[in-house]
Structure 1
Amino acid sequence: MTNIAKSRLTQAQLDAHWMAYTGNRQFKKDPRIITAASGHYYTDLDGRKIFDGLSGLWTCGLGHSVPAINEAVAEQVKTLDYSPAFQFGHEKSFLLAEQITQFMPEGLNRIFFTGSGSESVDTALKVARAYWRKKGMGTKTKFIGRAKGYHGASVSGFSVGGIPANRTLYGQGLESYHLPHTQVPGTEFSKGMAEQGKERAEDLINLITMHDASNIAAVIVEPMSGSAGVIVPPQGYLKRLREICDQHNILLIFDEVITAFGRMGAKTGADAFGVVPDAITMAKQVTNGVIPMGAVAFKQEIYDTFMDTGGQDYMLEIPHGYTYSAHPIACAAGLASLGEIKKQGLIERVSNMSAAWENSVHQLKGASSMITDIRNYGFAAGITIAPMGNEPAKRPFQIAMAMWDKGYYVRYGADTIQLAPPFTTEQSEIDSVINALGETIKQQS
């Protein structure tokens, strides 16, 4: 029996859904349908347990079907299902905002709620432009991103992003320029932060010289690039970006949609790498993936600039927001999720287990000539796979499909396999997924 028949879906129903970031034609020939999730495992149509090697989509660090979150969401649905996001409020949004500030670096204490990571990036970029206009420097409108960066699927996100496959189809976006990525020769198979590559930060000076600081609103980078394959910053790189931005009066934005709330073994990537930006975008782990939600943490000085120039107190300080900003059900999920991270000491757990994770992942070095690089930090790892002819994505796809057949969900993207297990993963599960991956890569060779 085919998966289509087992799922009771008709071909018309399958065709009706234009799936996101999916090879729709291949998928709909043999759908991979997930029917349930609990703890660290998904269940598929055959009733097989599939280990979740990517925490959903970097979202479910607490695992799946967490009782405290389920109960909070159920209670909120019964109490207040929706509250207007403009001009009125509900208590949980203020409680969650204050809770989020406890995870942020000191000074990033003003939280703007969105519905996703893409909306968070949009918000951060819009606020950056508006901030400089409020400061009387309205020419500061351009942005600088980075090659291999990912900042969501919106127009602004693909503009500042630097993954070619996410950009080439769509034509002109916002006026943006890009730093080179930090994967330099000689850093292959680095454990944690590489010693080489800091010099790539100096390219920011070249871009500023070319376009002039008076025209540049912000630099946006991921502290660790996740979607491009876990690209970890070299030692001193982020600090140097911070110094250059300060010297030239340019805002620095960290896109922490993946790295915030524990993935790095720290409260944020900013905390892990010891650099404080002017704004942090977040999503994913804030609700453990249960309900869509995002947010941006801004420095108080940015917030105060809008308040001080807002006109009469009944006027909008910034005409921006979303229907689902601070949705009450999402806020309830967020409070429960962040509460569980604290209660269970999961940031400390990830930090403590990161060395064991690192050792396990790097055991794959030499398992196959197809593996050309391994990178890791916290509970994340990226493995670069040699291309098959002129098809760099084919082998990672084949590896990921073979892993699924064996009972493991891992992410394939471009020429990489990506891993990000739940924060509560046991060593036996780490050993299992790494051993299966090594075996699979050898078989694909």
Structure 2
Amino acid sequence: MTADALEALDRRHLIHPHQRDSRSERHVIVRGEGCLVWDARGTELLDATGGANWLCQVGHGRREIADAAAEQLARLEYFTSFDVYSNDKSILLAARLAELAPAGLDRVFFTNGGSEGVDTAIKAARLFHHRRGEPERTWLLARRMGYHGATYGSGTATGFDGMQHAVGPNLPHVEKLTPPHPYRAEFYDGQDPTDFLVAELRQTIERIGAHRIAAMIGEPVMAGGGVITPPPDYWPAVREVLDEHRILLIADEVVTAFGRTGSWFDSERRGMRPDLVVTAKGLTSGYVPLGAVLLGDRIADALTGGDGFFHGHTYFGHAVACAVGLANLDLIEREGLLVNATRIGDWFREGLAAAADLPVVGDVRVEGATAGIELVSDRDTREPIMAAEVAAEIREAHQVVVRDYGNTIVLSPPLVLDEEQAARTTGAATEVLSRLAPDGQITGGH
């Protein structure tokens, strides 16, 4: 089928996430290898986004993962994991995750992805308190600019106004706090960011009532917010306050886990000491849908006791997905991709040094194999420039795919990116940004 025909069928039949009718163009990707993908017109594109969703850690088109899936499909494609049933691959993957996870998180509940995992964690936190005789603990603390998914539970926790529209996620008992965004000094009334945020947290707990709050959820590094790294003392201070009031902490590591920032789990090195960790994306590098919620015995025992944990979906612990997960983790470990994520970060810092000096660039933030370039029309006022047209120009002028998140250009490539590809990525971004005017218009062009 021709590219024109595929694009026409797409426009006629598919409703895309985040779709707007004002954008009618389509880019139909049909093949991938490493950090490269090809569209239906034969155009080669450098994927500097990990599949545009932060997830393809081991790169596209890996034969090792295809073989693992094919072998498992021929052996056992599916059998339920409800009640007393299980399968060998889900058991082995759960044990592997327990080995890699922060200390004490030895129990695993499988999901189909991040949004479902966040819903599971919220439900588990509330049920935990209920089983311990505190049914009034139903409130969830989240943060503005945090991204946690798009279902009713996870979408309500998400801190972007667009997710809470008139008919969208609007569950009760969710409170949004100020994010830890040091570049945005105006958020903190001239105070130290951590001091301001801890005081706000204490005031919020007092206002709602600690006896009514089940948990707080947060990303170690805020990904969708624009690669926002908190001050080093932020998470330890937050954890201390939550401990005082017996409020659980859910770490949303859907983006950061499995090497994205250079470690298996980012929450551990941030001092979060989470009670639950939500994962997905890099668990299978996107080859099949799979997520996992990690938790300790204290919470797991409360969930499975009494009437049990009446929760789960048909594809829980899917044998093929778990086989792919095991093969993916093997590749990440065998090929040293955690170390390479750190190298990528070094290449990004070096390659974006020139971009950081441009007047339209307010801040450049790098965490492992991820970078955020925040665009502003004025460095003093920090007035944002929306990044969508910049991302499109980088793709069209240089055949490099990047993501736009509000006024931030985000790079989150597969962890197999090499130095030459990193230079191509940062060079493309810098060239386009050098043509970006403070009014948001791009001069010149492809």
TM over 0.5: yes
The residue type paired with residue 68 of structure 2 is A
Structure 1 residue 10 displacement after superposition: 6.5
The alignment's C-alpha RMSD in Å is 2.1
Displacement after TM superposition at 1:13 (Å): 4.7
Amino acid at match of 1:382: G
Structure 1 CA distance for aligned equivalents of residues 384 and 151 of structure 2: 23
Map 1:2-151 onto structure 2 (within 5 A). 6-9=3-6, 11=8, 13-23=10-20, 25-28=21-24, 30-56=25-51, 57-87=53-83, 88-151=85-148
Pick aligned residue for 1:172 from 149, 160, 170: 170
Aligned match of 1:411: 403
* Contact 1:291-1:330 within 8 A present in 2 as well: yes
Shift of 1:299: 1.5
Gapped runs of 5+ residues in structure 1? 189-194, 311-315
Contact 2:105 2:295 in 1 (8 A): yes
Determine if the alignment matches structure 1 residue 181 to structure 2 residue 173.
no
TM-score of the two chains, using structure 1 as the length reference? 0.90
The aligned runs of 1:12-411 (5 Å cut-off) are 13-23=10-20, 25-28=21-24, 30-56=25-51, 57-87=53-83, 88-169=85-166, 170=168, 172-184=170-182, 197-199=193-195, 200-307=197-304, 309-310=305-306, 317-367=308-358, 369-386=359-376, 395-405=386-396, 406-411=398-403
Match for 2:114: what amino acid? G
Residue identity in the other structure for 1:223:
P
The answer to whether 1:431 aligns with 2:431 is no
Superposed CA offset, 1:145-184 (max 9, x none): 0010010001111211111122234263231101101124
Q: Deviations over 1:23-58 (max 9, x none)?
A: 3x2443x21111111111110233222111111111
Is the CA contact 1:7–1:33 (under 8 Å) kept in the aligned structure 2?
no
| CA 73–198 in structure 1, closer or farther in 2 if over 3 Å, else same | same
Shift of 1:338: 0.7
C-alpha change, 1:201 and 1:217, in structure 2 (3 Å) is: same
Contact 2:76 2:319 in 1 (8 A): yes
The answer as to whether partners of 1:149 and 1:162 remain within 8 angstroms in 2 is yes
Deviations 1:167-206 (A, max 9, x none): 2342632311011011245769xxxxxx952222331111
- Alpha-carbon deviations, 1:348-378, whole Å to 9, x = none? 23235533333323431123x2212221211
TM-superposed CA distance for 1:272, in Å, is 3.0
Structure 2 counterpart of 1:242, one-letter code: R
Dislocated runs of 4+, deviation >4 Å: 185-188, 392-395
AA in 2 matched with 1:179: L
Name the stretch that deviates more: 166-175 or 76-85. 166-175
- The whole-number CA distance in structure 1 between the counterparts of 2:181 and 2:208 is 25
What code does the residue aligned with 2:176 have?
Answer: H
Distance 1:20 1:58 in 2: 16
What is the TM-score normalised by the length of structure 2? 0.90
Identical-pair percentage: 30
Separation of aligned partners in 2, 1:201 and 1:131: 25
8 Å Cα contact 1:286-1:294 kept in structure 2: yes
- Provide the rounded CA distance (Å) in 1 between the counterparts of 2:184 and 2:11: 46
Counterpart amino acid of residue 67 in structure 2: E
Q: Which secondary structure does the structure 1 equivalent of 2:295 belong to? A: strand
Give the match's secondary structure for 1:265. Answer: coil
